[in-house]
């Protein structure tokens, strides 16, 4: 039977590669070792307003509550690294009029892209050994501690920034999983390879990493610009800079990125750069424009008002007096949360204009 299971595993890995996944590894269905760390993290309130993490905490700590009789978990990695990624980031940094977006947001929504591939691979899994078997697939959506499981399967290791790092893919990849009642030979786990490096902690603009392997989401720019639905704390707004969707600083500084290879699957789903306008253009986006342009992209998660809120903060940090008419329009014509951030941005720009050494 072991030989049959090994052969089926090999077949699944080949199919995963053919479908575009960059890595495919296997582990068993035991509870994740990090369960107690996760519960401690929740107790500190570091999940902020992401209440869904606490609501399903018992399932995240026990995979058999998600899929009874689970025996194996297949973990998959899909790279979104492109050869010109760094060039694009540097160009945004040089052009003070453009907003900075996280690398993963420069593609069609990965949930949609990977879902089709996961469905196809799951059909192959269920037919590999037993037609009566059960399987569930997830792409960043299921109540499981996927980074712990991915480390246990050998995909990569959890870095001090709390994200997964792969020796083959660096930091630029998506995780997805297939839970199954079939048994497959597990792969060897990956060991942590951060060593003494703390570059990610030092790079965080908002000190959202209070210590290695612990993230305080309440201070994380990715949380503040994407998950947070209300007002961004005033004390943190100046630290966001020109970022309007997410933040890659802790990922980008990691030395393991020198081994990152370009992804095959996501490359075909890169967004048209014309969808990523300069900050001034963002201020003119209507709710209808937003829905038409971003319905199938990661930006849709912020909703229209969340995106304009972020644009106001970015302009408050890097804009000049030429931005004031647009911000004044948002102050008077937009909904209350956007107006509040527009007022803040106007005050920031006016204060800089009055500062000594500034032109009249």
What is the rounded CA–CA span in Å between residue 268 and residue 202? 34
* Domain shared by 281 and 169, yes or no: no
Residue 333 forms part of a structural domain: yes
Residue 359 lies in a domain: no
Handedness of CA 218, 222, 225, 229 (dihedral sign): negative
Write out the residue range of the structural domain in which residue 284 sits.
Answer: 206-246+271-351
**Mean pLDDT of the chain, nearest integer:** 92
pLDDT at 1: 56
pLDDT tens for 253-296 read 999 999 998 988 999 999 876 556 689 989 999 999 999 999 99
Look at residue 152 and tell me whether its pLDDT is greater than 80: yes
Indicate if 237 and 347 belong to the same structural domain.
yes
Statement: residue 219 has pLDDT above 70: yes
- Nearest by Cα to 12 from 114, 123, 110, 168: 123
Question: Which letter does DSSP use for residue 278 in this model?
Answer: B
Q: What would the pLDDT profile of 282-334 be if each residue is shown by its tens digit?
A: 999 999 999 999 999 999 999 999 999 999 999 999 999 999 999 999 999 87
Decide: 141 and 286 in contact? Cβ < 8 Å.
Answer: no
d(CA 239, CA 53): 26
Q: Find the mean pLDDT for residues 51-80.
A: 93
Same domain, 26 and 140: yes
Residue with the bigger pLDDT between 89 and 133: it is 133
Check whether 104 has a pLDDT greater than 90: yes
Q: How many domains does the chain have?
A: 2
Establish whether 140 is a catalytic residue: yes
Judgement on whether residues 333 and 239 belong to the same structural domain of the protein: yes
Up-side HSE of residue 85: CA atoms within 13 Å toward CB?
26
Stretch 217-234: mean pLDDT, rounded? 97
One domain for residues 148 and 241: no
Q: What is the pLDDT of residue 131?
A: 72
What does the alpha-carbon distance between residue 353 and residue 355 come to, in Å, rounded to a whole number? 6
d(CA 104, CA 259): 18
Distance CA 16, CA 4 (A): 18
Claim to verify: residue 240 and residue 141 sit in the same structural domain? no
Last residue of a domain, one of 135, 164, 180: 180
Supply the pTM of this predicted model.
0.92
Nearest to 109 by CA among 70, 142, 68, 141: 141
- pLDDT class of 147 with cuts at 50, 70, 90: very high
Q: Do residues 140 and 281 share a domain?
A: no
Which of 18, 93, 112, 140 does the annotation list as catalytic?
140
Residue 319 within a domain: yes
Per-residue pLDDT reduced to its tens digit, 9-45: 999 999 999 999 999 999 999 999 988 889 999 898 8
Report, as an integer, the average pLDDT of 165-188.
97
d(CA 92, CA 242): 9
Separation between Cα atoms, residue 119 and residue 86, nearest integer Å: 32
pLDDT in the model for residue 17? 97
Return the higher-pLDDT residue of 95 and 145: 145
Token pair belonging to 122: 């799951």
Binned at pLDDT 50, 70 and 90, residue 359 comes out as low
How wide is the angle at C-alpha 348 spanned by C-alphas 333 and 283, nearest 5°? 35
Tell whether 27 and 146 lie within a shared domain. Answer: yes
pLDDT recorded at residue 94: 44
| Within-domain flag for 266 | no
Same domain, 227 and 326: yes
- Between CA 324 and CA 349 the distance in angstroms is 8
**Residues 356, 328 contacting (CB under 8 angstroms):** no
Q: 126 and 241 share a domain?
A: no
Assigned domain for 101 exists: no
């Amino acid at each position: 039977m072991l030989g049959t299971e090994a052969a089926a595993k090999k077949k699944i890995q080949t199919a995963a590669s053919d479908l575009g996944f960059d890595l495919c590894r296997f582990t068993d269905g035991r509870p994740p070792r990090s369960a107690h760390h996760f519960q401690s993290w929740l107790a500190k309130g570091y999940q902020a307003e992401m209440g869904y993490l606490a609501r399903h905490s018992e399932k995240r700590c026990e995979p058999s509550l998600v899929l009874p009789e689970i025996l194996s978990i297949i973990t998959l990695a899909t790279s979104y690294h492109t050869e010109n990624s760094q060039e694009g980031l540097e160009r945004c940094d040089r052009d003070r009029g453009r907003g900075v977006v996280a690398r993963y947001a420069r593609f069609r929504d990965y949930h949609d892209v990977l879902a089709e591939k996961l469905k196809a691979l799951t059909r192959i899994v269920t037919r590999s050994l037993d037609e009566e078997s059960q399987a569930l697939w997830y792409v960043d959506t299921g109540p499981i501690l996927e980074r712990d499981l991915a480390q246990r399967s050998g995909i990569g290791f959890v870095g001090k920034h709390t994200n997964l790092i792969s020796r083959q893919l660096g930091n630029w990849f998506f995780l997805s999983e297939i839970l199954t009642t079939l048994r497959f030979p597990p792969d060897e786990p990956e060991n942590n390879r951060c060593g003494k490096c703390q570059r990610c902690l030092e790079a965080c603009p908002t000190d959202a990493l209070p210590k290695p392997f612990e993230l305080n989401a309440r201070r994380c720019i990715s949380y503040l610009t994407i998950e947070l639905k209300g007002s961004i704390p005033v004390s943190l707004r100046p630290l966001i800079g020109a970022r309007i969707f997410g933040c890659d600083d802790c990922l980008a500084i990691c030395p393991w990125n020198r081994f990152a290879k370009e992804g095959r699957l996501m490359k075909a789903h890169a967004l048209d750069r014309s969808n990523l306008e300069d900050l001034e253009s963002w201020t003119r986006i209507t709710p209808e424009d937003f829905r038409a342009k971003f319905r199938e992209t990661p930006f849709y998660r912020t909703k229209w008002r969340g995106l304009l809120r972020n644009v106001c903060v970015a302009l408050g940090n890097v804009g000049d007096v030429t931005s004031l008419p647009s911000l004044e329009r948002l102050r008077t014509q937009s909904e209350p949360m956007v107006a509040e951030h527009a007022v803040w941005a106007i005050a920031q720009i006016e204060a800089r204009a009055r500062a000594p050494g500034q032109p009249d």
